[in-house]
Chains A and B, each alone.
Chain A
Amino acid sequence: MKPENTDRPGEHWSLPPLLGETDSPEIHEIHRSILQRERLEPQEGAEPAPWWVWAVSVAVLFCMGIYLGRYGGSFKPVAHELEMGSAGAASTASARPAPNGADIFSAICITCHQAGGTGIEGKYPPLAGSEWIAKDAGIPVRIVLNGLEGPIQVKGKQFVNQMPSIGAQLEDDEIAAVLSFVRSSWGNSSGKVPTELVTKLRRETAGQGAWTADKLNAIGGKP
């Protein structure tokens, strides 16, 4: 290999004339002095890598192998299934933990009915102390299953708005859980809502549009 510069010994390589002072011998001098002050081009040293670097590497690889076995989801195309239970696919439905009413409330109802079930004056009626959830458990179950619209009196205040049907989003036991939670929180003290009631009403009210306060009163759940 022949270095390219040897054929032009001693030649000056001009830096581009920049915006200010133009190229001159003086500029060469500055460039040269900068380059003279420079140190050697970097090279690779031959120290061995410290033993603990290898040790840590192997340890991390080992731990991650275990992690893969534990959380690899058997390489199935499903999300949110960290491990496959011993019963395989059949376990998915039955192995689901019992739903937590408070969690469902804060995942869904809280956006409208607010933390503490206070509602918002003139927009969303309160759940805390509401007469509609207190008496017949069938009434709030119907509201959650199919929605509610039109004028309604809650704790002496008038609301005219609409609540969407939430039936399709939640399983029967989830509706039972969230209503049991609502009926026993913030001073409310009506009993638990059984899952069977939700199942029964879901069947009976299939195809039913949103309820109105009048229709609910007619059913007899009048507060």
Chain B
Amino acid sequence: MEAIDRLKEIVGKDFVFTSPEETLLYGRDGGSTPPRRVDAVVIPGSVEEVQEIVKFASKNNIPVTPAGAGLTLNGLTIPLHGGIVVDMRRMNRILEVNRLSRYVVLEAGVTQGFLLSYLKENHPDLMHSIPEAPPTATVVGNLLIKGHGTQAFYGENSDMINGLEVVLPTGELLYTGSLSVSKYWFTKGPLPDLTGLFISWFGTTGIVTKASLRLFPRPAYRDSVMFMMDQPEYIPELIYEITATRLFDNIGMLGQDLPEYLKGHQFVGAMISGNYEEEIKLKKEIISRVAEKFGGKVLLIPEIPDSIKKRFMEEPPFAAVAADFRKGGGFQYCGAMIPLEKVPEAWRKGEEIAHKYGFYFSCANQVLAFGHEVMFGFNYSFNRADPEEVERVGEAMKETNDLVLSLEGIPWKADFYAQQRILAKMFPETYRLIQKIRKTLDPAGIMNPGNWEKEE
């Protein structure tokens, strides 16, 4: 009880929640992860409050899990060992937009939707790379998991970070990137790169309170070109050829068993943009010509139905619709970073796993940069009111994660099981260094314990 009183002193009594009806939702998410215990939810309003929270938790060995909107679906904001969940969404100011150097500085709780609408209203010529996650997802949560979005041509969203403000597990404040040296937060800097200490670490190295993120010119027009085939084996070469045109913003792939007429086909969509109608026309024409290289095996879809176009072009697209495919509110996907050449095998084996566990096959994939990596999303929609089905998704997810590793890929935003499998495969010195870094930054071991450490 004393701990709760102290937390209330830090953030104010209105922002500490301990009753079952207030903590329950932080112990579960829209995926199949079984619910876990949360002792308190704390919602700080300032950097100083975050500092005091971690100092207090560190002194008293209380586990701390930072959370944005909790939308990874893989249980990453559900503490493995109870303790405090720090919901960052009260810190939601957009602090600066530098138009010429094209970056925004924002607090950790700013959502994708708010940044999108803020830019549209105040800087209509600028945009950020928007993921397909619901607009309530936080920008920082997405950056910290190596997210990706509409500007995948430029790389992953985490590649677009200029720097972070971080409260370290011992309470000190750190700046990474140029802000540590300059007034302008415009680059990671020609400096030893500390930003990476917080990306894909799942909150085990500190709590990010601010980020500087690169913005891009918002084009006047957007459109897409869509290809279809019935053998995934053509995909790697097709992607290679499309990327070789250097004319796309973003390339996505889709495949699903339903509706029936889509079954057995693969769809590849290239998103393009430009400031002139002629530019769009020309880009479309050049990208369309790629199909000619495949001797009729890859078809160009001349008129993309509006519903499919919307699925690709909306900002962000309503990808969450998958949660209602089984009229059950449950959705989880094993997103995996795999090499381009492994796409066909992932596709075929993914289909087998989905069918083996009694699910319809569905995948939504994204090409990152110029095909340097592919995020392959093996999707599972399920009925969360059916415990047997929830368990089956869990099993299917495990097998999918194993498949990914066997294909030399790496599960993205890895859940606890996938983390264990990755760590088991990891080069021992790499693992040891990860643990050394954690021990140095977080001597009390309070930050999201259990993540990125081998189960005893």
**A and B from one assembly?**
no
Interface residues of A (CB under 8 A from B): none
